[in-house]
Every structure is written in C-alpha cells, then in structure tokens.
C-alpha cells in the first residue's frame, strides 16, 4: 500500500494509543486504572441536554452556516465580553468541531512551508504534529531551570525571520502550571511589536485552583481585535466536561476568520447543529456546573499531590489548574515511553509518556477520575517503582509479589 510521506511523518497520539491498549485489557476483564486521558466524569449540564433535545424534538437538524449558528455566536460574544473584556463581532468568530479543529484551522491559515511555530514545552502533543501537517516547522522552547516556567529571553533566542506564530496554553496541558500575568504581558507585548501571531489556547482557563486568577492576553494589548496579533481558542470540552460534544471556537481578526471559514468549508463544513445547540445551552444556562467541577478537580489535585509525596525520588511542580500533573520520574527511568509501558504491564495503570509533550523522563498523570482510581493508581505505581513500598499488592482479586527490585 502506498502511503504519503506526509501522513507517515505524523506521530500517533500517545494518549489514544495507551487508552486503546487499556480498553482492550478491560475487555479481557483486567482491572485497569487510567490516569491517562483528560476527561472529567461530571454529567452533561442539564441546559445543554435540554437545548439539544429541543432541536431534536422539532427535527430541525440540517446544514447551517460553516462558521457557526448565529445564536451560538451570540452566546460566544457574551462569553468573550465577560471573560476577556472585549466586545467582538460575529465576523470575528468561527465555531469548529472541537478546539483541536480550531487550532488546525489557525495553523493551516497562517503557516507557509518552512514557517516556524514556537511551542513552549511542555506542550500539548498535537501541536507539533499539526504544524508538520501544514508543512511548518515546530520549534521547542524548554525551560532551563527545571521548572515549567519560561523566560522571555529564552523565547526571543528561538525567534527567527521564519517565525510566524507562538502557541501558549495556560493553564497548561500537561503540567497544570499557569503562566504569570507578568510573563503573559511580556509575551503579548513582544508579539504585537514584532508582528508575530500569538495563539492562546485557553481551553482550561476556568479550571484554576487556590483562588488564583487567570488573566486573558487581551488585557495586555492596546490593539483592537481587528489589528491585534492575538488569536484566542476556547471550547466547552474541559470547563463544562463536554468532551464528546466536540465544539470549539476561535476569536480572531475578520480576515483570518474568513480564510478559516473557507478552509473549514472544504473540510468538515459546519459543526453539527445539534451539538452547537448543546454548546449554546451550556454557555447560556446555569454556570454552577463549572464551579462544582472545578472544586471536584481541585480536591482531586490535593489527593494526588498527597499520594505522590510517598515517593522519595520524584520531583513535581504543583499544578495551578487543569486536571493534570507532570512528575519527573527520571530517578526511576529516563525513558518515559518505556516507563509508561512497564507500569501498564506490571500494574495495569495507564499514564502518558512525557516525551510526547517535550519533557522526556516525566509522566503525565490525570486526576480527572474518581478518588478511588487516583489513590489506587498511585499506590500501584509506587509498588512498581519504589523499593520502599510494600512488596505485595492486590490488583483486582489477584495478589501480586514484586520480584524485580
């Protein structure tokens, strides 16, 4: 079979690959625990259900505008004004099939062959693959001090005449860190001054802990939306726990939105009007769902941090938000892919290798699941790796004895 060079060059998602392996093990009856995929366990907000079911009842599920239904755009305009302090027009918004398509649309619209896009490590696994799919060049910036916080001077050193954009995700998947307001202000000012697009992936912006405040990039730009180099990505997947609805959006200058609409029109056309209706219900309905989810996730964060303290040899930068942490496991194995496979084989716990996020030697752990799965999952990992952990453990109804340390 003849497969294109471009397609062969795209790395598969490690998250989906490991979760597929876990699914197959579950089908065999194995007691697998997943600390891999980021998916909250909350029920779908009732307003989203009612809004989409009303659309179904009247049978009004047809084609719509490629860039999104007017009523959902109206809800996004209100959302943008409330959370970003900017009043935008419908022409500044395109609704997409998930925030992932938002990002792809942006990159496809901006990047010419050999243009460079800077990513701040750790970064979401799909960023470099999307850039390569658009014939661009992903450029990593890795913090020099062992933390996940960046300095502007390190970013500036990576900027070249080919630099087209910088992508920032704060709070960050996979580390959970939220960049400081001072850093974001510097980055915004730099990009506006240099004419470099700043793609702000804000999908986790409502899941912030310890009474910290997320600050939008627009606060630090004195340019209007039409003339700014800031491009905002958001969606309903994380804050509302509506991962399966696949609705995201972009806020950007009209000219960019026009091109993205043309791109999307030739790929997927409009997102499902049924799911857009659900998104509208979520955005305009009671917002207590978000705070309830945030509190649950914050509690889970405290639990996983407490469980990880039992390890003597891992290093951890405490998450400010999201539902991920990225401990440094290099004391046990510097090859994160090998380590993740070893943990899955021995303890039936799914983790995600840090190498996929630009941070080799780390593992991403999700605490979006149940408290029981978090505590038992960390207990199993410790049993696999830590010589000071008890030598015996029950996994499901089987008693296992560690014989490799």
Q: Three-state secondary structure along 286-326?
A: CCHHHHHHHHHHHHHHHHHHHHHCCCCCCECCCCCECCEEC
Determine the pLDDT at residue 125: 94
Last residue of a domain, one of 224, 259, 284: 284
> Residues 299-343: pLDDT tens digits?
999 999 999 999 989 999 999 999 999 999 999 999 999 999 999
Q: How far does Cα 164 stand from its chain's mean position?
A: 22
Q: Where are the beta strands (DSSP E) in 51-162?
A: 93-96, 116-120, 137-141
Query: Both 256 and 393 in a single domain?
Result: no
| 306: CATH | 3.90.1150.10
Query: Both 325 and 306 in a single domain?
Result: yes
Query: Both 15 and 99 in a single domain?
Result: no
Helix or strand or coil: residue 196? coil
Whether the CB-CB separation of 48 and 245 falls below 8 Å is answered with yes
Query: Both 238 and 351 in a single domain?
Result: no
Query: Both 223 and 87 in a single domain?
Result: yes
- The whole domain housing 262 covers 46-284
Which parts of 142-180 fold into alpha helices (H)? 152-158
Query: Both 182 and 101 in a single domain?
Result: yes
Total of domains in the chain = 2
The token pair at 160 is: 């070249």
Which distant-in-sequence residues (6+ apart) come within 8 Å of 317 by Cβ? Answer: 147, 148, 175, 176, 177, 325, 326
The token pair at 179 is: 């960049």
Query: Both 226 and 90 in a single domain?
Result: yes
The Cα 332–Cα 335 span in angstroms is 9
The Cα 316–Cα 331 span in angstroms is 12
The Cα 272–Cα 270 span in angstroms is 6
| 97: CATH | 3.40.640.10
> Residues 70-111: pLDDT tens digits?
999 999 999 999 999 999 999 999 999 999 999 999 999 999
Q: Are strands 163-169 and 352-353 parallel, antiparallel or unpaired?
A: unpaired
Determine the pLDDT at residue 220: 98
Whether the CB-CB separation of 96 and 82 falls below 8 Å is answered with no
Whether the CB-CB separation of 178 and 208 falls below 8 Å is answered with yes
3-state helix, strand, coil in the chain (%, to 5): 40, 15, 40
Determine the pLDDT at residue 19: 75
Last residue of a domain, one of 234, 250, 284: 284
Whether the CB-CB separation of 271 and 37 falls below 8 Å is answered with no
Last residue of a domain, one of 231, 256, 284: 284
Query: Both 93 and 204 in a single domain?
Result: yes
Query: Both 160 and 232 in a single domain?
Result: yes
Q: How far does Cα 108 stand from its chain's mean position?
A: 19
Whether the CB-CB separation of 252 and 227 falls below 8 Å is answered with no
Query: Both 300 and 318 in a single domain?
Result: yes
What are the residue ranges in the chain where pLDDT is below 70? Answer: none
The Cα 199–Cα 117 span in angstroms is 10
Query: Both 151 and 27 in a single domain?
Result: no
Query: Both 15 and 57 in a single domain?
Result: no
Let me know how long the chain is: 405
Whether the CB-CB separation of 325 and 357 falls below 8 Å is answered with no
């Amino acid at each position: 079979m003849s497969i294109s060079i471009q397609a062969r060059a795209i790395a598969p998602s490690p998250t989906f690959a490991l979760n597929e392996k876990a699914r197959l093990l579950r089908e065999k009856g194995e007691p697998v625990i997943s600390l891999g995929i980021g998916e909250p366990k909350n029920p779908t907000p009732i307003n989203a259900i009612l809004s989409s079911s009303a659309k179904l009842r009247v049978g009004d599920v047809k084609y719509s505008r490629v860039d999104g239904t007017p009523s959902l755009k109206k809800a996004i305009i209100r959302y943008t004004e409330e959370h970003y302090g900017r009043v935008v027009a419908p022409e500044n918004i395109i609704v997409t099939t998930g925030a992932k398509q938002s990002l792809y649309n942006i990159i496809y619209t901006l990047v010419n062959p050999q243009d460079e896009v800077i990513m701040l490590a750790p970064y979401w696994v799909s960023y470099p693959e999307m850039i390569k799919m658009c014939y661009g060049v992903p450029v990593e910036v890795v913090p020099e001090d062992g933390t996940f916080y960046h300095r502007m001077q390190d970013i500036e050193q990576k900027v070249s005449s080919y630099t087209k954009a910088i992508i920032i995700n704060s709070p960050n998947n996979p580390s959970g860190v939220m960049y400081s307001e001072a850093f974001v202000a510097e980055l915004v000012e730099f990009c506006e001054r240099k004419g470099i697009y700043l793609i702000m992936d804000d999908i986790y912006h409502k899941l912030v802990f310890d009474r910290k405040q997320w600050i939008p990039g627009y606060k630090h730009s004195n340019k209007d939306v039409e003339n700014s180099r800031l491009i905002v990505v958001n969606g309903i997947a994380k804050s509302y726990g509506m991962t399966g609805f696949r609705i995201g959006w972009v806020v950007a200058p009209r000219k960019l939105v026009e091109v993205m609409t043309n791109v999307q029109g030739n790929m997927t056309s409009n997102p499902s009007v049924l799911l857009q209706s659900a998104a509208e219900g979520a955005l305009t309905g009671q917002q207590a769902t978000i705070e309830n989810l945030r509190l649950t996730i914050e509690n889970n964060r405290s639990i996983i941090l407490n469980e990880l303290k039992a390890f003597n040899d891992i290093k951890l930068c405490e998450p400010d938000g999201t539902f991920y942490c990225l401990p440094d496991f290099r004391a046990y194995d510097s090859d994160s892919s090998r380590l993740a496979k070893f943990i899955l084989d021995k303890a039936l716990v799914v983790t995600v290798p840090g190498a996929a996020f630009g941070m080799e030697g780390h593992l991403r752990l999700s605490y979006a699941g149940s408290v029981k799965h978090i505590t038992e999952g960390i207990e199993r990992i410790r049993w696999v790796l830590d010589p000071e952990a008890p030598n015996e453990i029950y996994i499901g109804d089987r008693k296992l004895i560690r014989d490799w340390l």
